[in-house]
Amino acid sequence: MRLLAVAAAVLAGSAALAAAPNNPVSSQGYGLALVAGDQVPQLRTLTLDGRPFVVAWAASKLTLVNFWATWCTPCRQEMPELQAIHEAGKATGLRVVGVVVQDRPEGEAIAKAANEARARYEILWGGPDVEKVWRGVSVLPTTFLVDPEGRIVRKYIGTTPDEIAAVKKDIADYLAGRPLGDPYLPPSDPVPESVRPRP
């Protein structure tokens, strides 16, 4: 009887935690499906030479965080578009940050990949802390828009011309103070092998 009571209490506690809005599912991570409205902590990363670096949301009106890896071909293919978004939005309060995850290259290799993709926005290495907190980032590229209070405004998975257009529209609407429309929903095709996480 005592074991049944303990099991029931554990299940009830787990259900309450899962139902609570904007709550992490554990003290070490933010679950498998970060969505718009979720609160996230400051982004604690590493520079490409290994120094700790914090991306503070309050420093910008809107922050675009793009998670990528050097082995991810679609990630590198979309980087020129992210560079154009960076150039168009930096004067109005947009910050663009690229964070390498699921990857263990040297800083020089990351910089080389970014340079080849003509990316001149901030490029950082996620390191273990980022991958622990943002562990729901399993498909690359994954991109978030985050407001100054650390709330996720939008989430995008993968990259297509339609999705890039949606990112641009959402950024323009947000920075102009306009309400955002419906979120972009990608086609329901299977995820291409090139963007799946490595085992």
pLDDT in tens, 64-105: 999 999 999 999 999 999 999 999 999 999 999 999 998 888
Q: What is the mean pLDDT of the chain?
A: 80
Count CB-CB contacts under 10 A for residue 139.
Answer: 16
Pick the more confident residue, 26 or 100. 100
Q: What is the pLDDT of residues 63-73, one digit of tens each?
A: 999 999 999 99
Pick the more confident residue, 34 or 23. 34
Q: Please give the model's pTM, rounded to 2 decimal places.
A: 0.78
Say whether 154 sits in a helix, a strand or coil: strand
Residues 105-123 have a mean pLDDT of 94
- The CATH T-level fold of domain 32-195 is Glutaredoxin (3.40.30)
Q: Which amino acid is at 194?
A: S
Provide the percentage of residues in the chain whose pLDDT is more than 70: 77
